Structure 1
Amino acid sequence: MSYTVALTGGIGSGKSTVAHIFSNLGINVIDSDIIARQVLTPGQPDLLALHAYFGNDILMKNGFLNRIFLRDKICNSSNDREWINNLLHPTIRRIAYQQLLHSRSMWSLWVVPLLVENSLQNYVDRVLLVDVDPIIQLDRTMMRGNIQPEHIEKIMSIQADRFARISVADDIIDNSGSLDTLKTKVLALHKYYLSLAESRNKYLL
């Protein structure tokens, strides 16, 4: 397995943008959110399990996942949230691990929004946090236009707080500035991670 950096951050922090920049630099990106969407497509075992647990309300008329209903359950019921997490997270981790095993870039980026919540920091070589002020998180997420402010605040309240993420981070990107500034920071980290990966590989040899 190549040198692995976990990328984490709260909703609206800019994880996807950072991951996209790294991808353009030739780094293999394994994204837990993308895997989650894939395992919840029609016919997949985890969606069938959700259907059996919640009934028809979890599905839209076309058979696809009703994401609004699922989000409501995650935000408003700790019991349902725990059941959903126990169902989905092992599947997502298993697929992510397989993808990391087959990664061929010098180092790999694993996007893990709930890294702190699931105590996954010890499974990677390094943790990179995309950090922004909570007010910026809220504003940026609202700009997406598909989540109400009260839902965003609820999601933020059940995620690990900013200081818990900072406590496990090896590197932190402040993403409160411009896109050009962000690209400069990502490029510098990419060069740094290449050097760490090269050193690790030499040691293993």
Structure 2
Amino acid sequence: MSKPWILGLTGGIGSGKSAAAKHFIDLGVHTVDADHAARWVVEPGRPALARIAEHFGEEVLQADGQLDRAALRTRVFQNAEERRWLEALLHPLIGQEIHDYLARAESPYAILVSPLLIESGQRRLTQRILVVDTPEELQVQRTMLRDQTSAEQVNAILQVQANREERLRHADDVLVNDRDLAWLQAEVERLHQFYLTLRGGQP
């Protein structure tokens, strides 16, 4: 059996990439989420957590030994040097975690879901990129509804993520998600059938 090729799935906040990813999983596609990998590498007992506690001190740990994300975020957001230190520690570990998980795939192709696929350089792990794209005002509405948050907060997150043009410039395929869930799922099924015909992510 040939080695599965890797599809990168990305999209801005509120674009519906998680709903698209879930439907690919329902269709039997092996999927890894970069956000989950980022959480796994800092779990208690993993070397990264010990390094973080050693560097930042015990105050970035909760009483149960878990990472206190809010405390760590406060520390690194205020200090670009600390943020770079943390990224230098975590990015290779997250990359390795993703690589190991994708290597276990048994479906004809596997998917790496990452909101920061373009910005983080994770796109280098993929052979093809699918962008779930949504008009910005719809992204803001959906995210406000989902996270019970303000337009200002959503816009702040949008500023950090790659801009829409940048994402679309790297896309091999674009799924415009401006209708309902049934339509999104039908589009995922159409793409899935197409992806099954590809070798190494190319027609």
TM-score, length-scaled by structure 2: 0.86
- Aligned equivalents of 1:128 and 1:74: distance in 2? 31
Q: CA deviation at 1:79?
A: 3.0
- Aligned equivalents of 1:59 and 1:81: distance in 2? 17
Percent identity, aligned pairs only? 36
| 3-state SS of 2:197 partner | helix
1:53 maps onto 2:19 in alignment: no
Unpaired runs of 5+ in structure 2? none
- Residue aligning to 2:84: 82
* Structure whose residues are more often helix by fraction: 1
- Residue aligning to 1:99: 101
- Residue aligning to 1:41: 43
Alpha carbons 2:6, 2:128 under 8 Å: kept:
yes
More deviation in 128-137 or 157-166? 128-137
Q: What is the number of equivalent residue pairs in this alignment?
A: 201
Q: 1:113 aligns with which of 112, 115, 129?
A: 115
- Aligned equivalents of 2:201 and 2:116: distance in 1? 29
Q: Output the amino acid matched with 2:172.
A: D
Q: Residues 60-104 of structure 1, C-alpha deviation per residue, up to 9 Å, x if partnerless? A: 222222222344455554333322222211111111111222210
Q: CA deviation at 1:54?
A: 2.4
- Aligned equivalents of 1:169 and 1:73: distance in 2? 34
Alpha carbons 2:134, 2:178 under 8 Å: kept:
yes
Q: Output the amino acid matched with 1:108.
A: A
- Residue aligning to 1:177: 179
Q: CA deviation at 1:186?
A: 0.4
- Residue aligning to 1:138: 140
Unpaired runs of 5+ in structure 1? none
- Aligned equivalents of 1:199 and 1:50: distance in 2? 38
Q: Output the amino acid matched with 2:50.
A: L
Q: 1:68 aligns with which of 59, 67, 70?
A: 70
Q: CA deviation at 1:42?
A: 1.7
